[in-house]
Amino acid sequence: MAREGGPFILAAAGLSALLFWAWTPLGWVSLLLPAFVVNFFRNPARRLPPGPPGQVVSPADGKIVVAGPDPVSGRVRVSIFMNVLNVHLNRIPVDGTVTGITYFPGAFLNASFDKASEQNERNRVEIRTKGGEQVIMVQVAGLIARRILCYAEAGDTLSAGTIFGLIRFGSRVDLDLPVGTTLSVRLGETVKGGETVLGILPK
């Protein structure tokens, strides 16, 4: 389980216990709430797949809603939408050093909308790989998500697949990858954080 889940699980379980005491049939129905919270904060084991240097692994569980080059910059964009049933822990996509973290306050639009990447509350994490490539990852809050957590700090050197953050409840993660990155995923594909290979950085 994600460490932040404890208070939410206890609160949900306490509410169910209270409802059981007040009216047993309602108590049985209320068990759906702690079950949902436990499911949301789950932290399943993930195994980083073997691969060549420059391999990019998914930073989140969810569905690919953007995949391809930006028409202006030419850099490659990948966006992953996480619904409330997905694992919401976020992982580092490449081996590298965190060079900067910037938080942007904003709105809480549906995270599946493209404009959410520019208008919603978000947290930008910049990573420099050993090869000198810049990878930018943005945690984007959603319609229900009201809290972005980031454990990483500037100067941290982290391995791909390392858990670095969490977004509560339902959200999006955007990746901005160097020009020439070769993608191995497509629109609509379902991916797993720390396991699915999204592509390979240019050599």
Q: Of the candidates 93, 80, 88, which has an alpha carbon nearest to the alpha carbon of residue 172?
A: 80
pLDDT at residue number 128? 97
Residues noted as catalytic:
171
The pLDDT value recorded for residue 75 is 96
pLDDT at 132: 93
Do the beta carbons of residue 88 and residue 139 sit within 8 Å? no
pLDDT of residue 9: 55
pLDDT at 123: 93
pLDDT of residue 127: 97
- Report residues of the chain scoring pLDDT below 70: 1-9, 12-13, 19-20, 27, 34-42, 106-117, 119, 142-146, 169-170
Looking at residue 193, its pLDDT comes to 94
* Confidence (pLDDT) at 73: 87
Tell me phi and psi for residue 142, to 5 degrees: -120, -165
How far apart are alpha carbons 6 and 12 in whole angstroms?
A: 10
Strand, coil or helix: what is 177?
strand
- Reading the block at residue 198, the tokens are 């999204």
What pLDDT was estimated at residue 179?
95
pTM of the model: 0.84
